[in-house]
Structure 1
Amino acid sequence: MDVPGRFSRNAGERYSSMLDYSFRDLESIGEIEFLKPRKGLRPYKCSASCGLYMCNAWRMNNNRLTNIRGIVSTAFNLLDRPEHLTWLDLSFNKITHLTNEIAMFPSLRVLYLHSNLLAEFELCLRHLVQIGSLYSLTLHDNLLDKDVNYRNKIVLRLKQIELLDFTRINEEERKRVHFYGRIRGVKNVAFQRNHQLH
């Protein structure tokens, strides 16, 4: 499992480990601004200039969130440097879809989305592919993982990731998925030609 702070360029220098809003019965991300985070093993560091949390990891797992609306504005109201956020946990919620807000954290390396209600595969991938820094992703235990080609589709589209659902993507798998992509592309072209003929 990934460790918060591990991928931060500033880890151990000026950031505390994580901002923890797990198990708070949240229905919307905006509610966070009216709550104090859970106490961690270490006290939170706050910026002397603005009083915002100096964290590069943010935990919102095990709540009742149905979407991620407002995540960027909330990050700017809570975090000293939201552009340095590297680790985000949204697992065990009721999130049904993603928006382009998920791609607005340029340093994001680890994203946990498992155990939600995500169902729109293509829409989900369309937003995730924009996170060029993404290293580790979890999407298992969503409605979309019922797709027989679930893992192949993700590895094919999200070429930047190295870990999917806590399992490393090795070279052999990448070659196999590349072949799957070529076959799929040939089938799509054939289908389109047949459709045009009719």
Structure 2
Amino acid sequence: MDAFYQQIPRPDFPRSRVARNAKPLINTFDAEFPYTAPPLDFSFMNIGNFDSYLHGKDDEPRQQGQKKLPVKTEDGKYSTTTLKMNNNLLQEWKGFAQFLTDVLASPQELYWLDLSFNYLIKIDEVILNFPNIKILYLHGNAIEDAKEIDKLAQLPHLISITLHGNPVESDPGYRQRVLSKLPNLRALDFSRITKADREKSQVYVSMVGDRNPTTKKKHARSNTK
């Protein structure tokens, strides 16, 4: 599972980078992740959209070294709660739900989803159809609007998320705003959330309210043109 913490930023995507001053979540996996099967790994396969797999693409999932693939059921689906789609060419979520239904034996049990290092601009609400997600990797994408992150507040079990390497990371108060919108988080961008982080988040909200910093940033850019 070390590979989950050692994703290398893709050189063709300059916004991809490792979070500054990040502290690895050494114990989160052991304490929170009921790991009973290997991950289903479709990373580094140049997948441009979920439909491309559904419509005849016959790529098999990756097998890491001597590690076994998840058990395959009689209907050709995989018994696992972990899916890796990182380092691909995904730009949208079309076909996401059907993809999970086609490859996972129990898609509703999806627990850990890695979509890092793609080209996603939005966070589609289709992800809310999988409420058991606890760990979500979205770092190294193209998410710019902070409002996209707000949608994830409806995932009741989400405790760890990565968003660094997205344009939204440069928003003023980025970390404080994320914590205010996702109060159940225990980790953000591979860094544990401390009591001090919570306090800073509360101060931030009391000062700026619910304003979207992305809107302000876009307005500032338009005034400089």
Q: TM-score, normalised to structure 1's length?
A: 0.84
- Structure 1: give runs of 5+ residues left out of the alignment: 189-198
Alignment of structure 1 residues 34-53 onto 2, 5 Å: 34=57, 35-40=59-64, 41-48=67-74, 50-53=75-78
2:153 counterpart letter in structure 1: V
Higher relative contact order (CA 8 A, sep 6+): 2
Structure 2 counterpart of 1:21, from 42, 60, 64: 42
- Superposition RMSD on alpha carbons, in Å? 2.2
Conservation of the 8 A alpha-carbon contact between 1:139 and 1:145: yes
- Structure 2: give runs of 5+ residues left out of the alignment: 6-24, 213-225
CA distance in 2 between partners of 1:66 and 1:115 (Å) = 12
Conservation of the 8 A alpha-carbon contact between 1:115 and 1:142: yes
Conservation of the 8 A alpha-carbon contact between 1:52 and 1:77: yes
Query: Structure 1 residue 126: deviation in Å?
Result: 2.8
- Size of the aligned set, in residue pairs, is 182
CA distance in 1 between partners of 2:30 and 2:129 (Å) = 19
Who is 1:87 aligned against? 112
Q: Which one has a bigger Cα radius of gyration?
A: 1
Does 1:71 find its partner at 2:96?
yes
Alignment of structure 1 residues 1-16 onto 2, 5 Å: 1=5, 7-9=32-34, 11-12=35-36, 16=37
Deviations 1:32-56 (A, max 9, x none): 34221112311320124x3310011
Query: Structure 1 residue 98: deviation in Å?
Result: 1.4
Structure 2 counterpart of 1:153, from 177, 202, 213: 177
Deviations 1:111-150 (A, max 9, x none): 000001111111x123211111101100011111111211
Identical aligned pairs, as a percentage? 29
Does the residue aligned with 1:88 lie in a helix, a strand or coil?
strand
CA distance in 2 between partners of 1:67 and 1:51 (Å) = 26
Does 1:103 find its partner at 2:116?
no
Q: TM-score, normalised to structure 2's length?
A: 0.74
Who is 1:57 aligned against? 82
CA distance in 2 between partners of 1:4 and 1:77 (Å) = 27
Query: Structure 1 residue 4: deviation in Å?
Result: 7.1
